Amino acid sequence: AQTVTQSQPEMSVQEAETVTLSCTYDTSENNYYLFWYKQPPSRQMILVIRQEAYKQQNATENRFSVNFQKAAKSFSLKISDSQLGDTAMYFCAFMRPLGGATNKLIFGTGTLLAVQP
């Protein structure tokens, strides 16, 4: 069974600085998808970034980038130039490429990030 581990329950960063959130996972699959979701206090779960395991290049979305280390089964999220609106719970998630609605998302326990002014 797949598992996703986030070892940092809470983190804090100053506005405009850079922060890295850690995620490790366990799977015997060779092909899969990894995600970072953001859930601000407003509760809406928002997809931040996605990585396909078969792609060696790390995904980037504006200020958000990942460091995907497939052999180490590590998938960290780097947030550059942190903004107050980045304050949220961040969930790392894993999905097997089964196709269809049976693609279950397996979530980590989350990291609560606070951006300080």
Partner 1 sequence: DTEVTQTPKHLVMGMTNKKSLKCEQHMGHRAMYWYKQKAKKPPELMFVYSYEKLSINESVPSRFSPECPNSSLLNLHLHALQPEDSALYLCASSQDRGQGYNEQFFGPGTRLTVL
Question: What's the CA dihedral at 105, 42, 23, 53 to 10 degrees?
Answer: 50
- Residues in 79-108 that interact with partner 1 by CB under 8 A: 89, 91, 95, 97, 99-105, 107-108
Judged by CB under 8 A, the stretch of 20-28, 46-54, 57-65, 68-76 that binds partner 1 is: 46-54
Please, are residues 74 and 24 in contact by the beta-carbon 8 Å criterion? yes
Contacting residue, 28, 30, 42, 62, with partner 1 by CB under 8 A: 42
81 conformational bin, left if phi > 0, alpha if psi -120 to 50, beta if neither? left
Question: Are 58 and 67 in contact, with CB atoms under 8 Å apart?
Answer: yes
Among 1, 30, 43, 57, binds partner 1 (CB under 8 A): 43
- Residue ranges binding partner 1 (CB under 8 A): 33, 42-47, 50, 52, 89, 91, 95, 97, 99-105, 107-110, 112
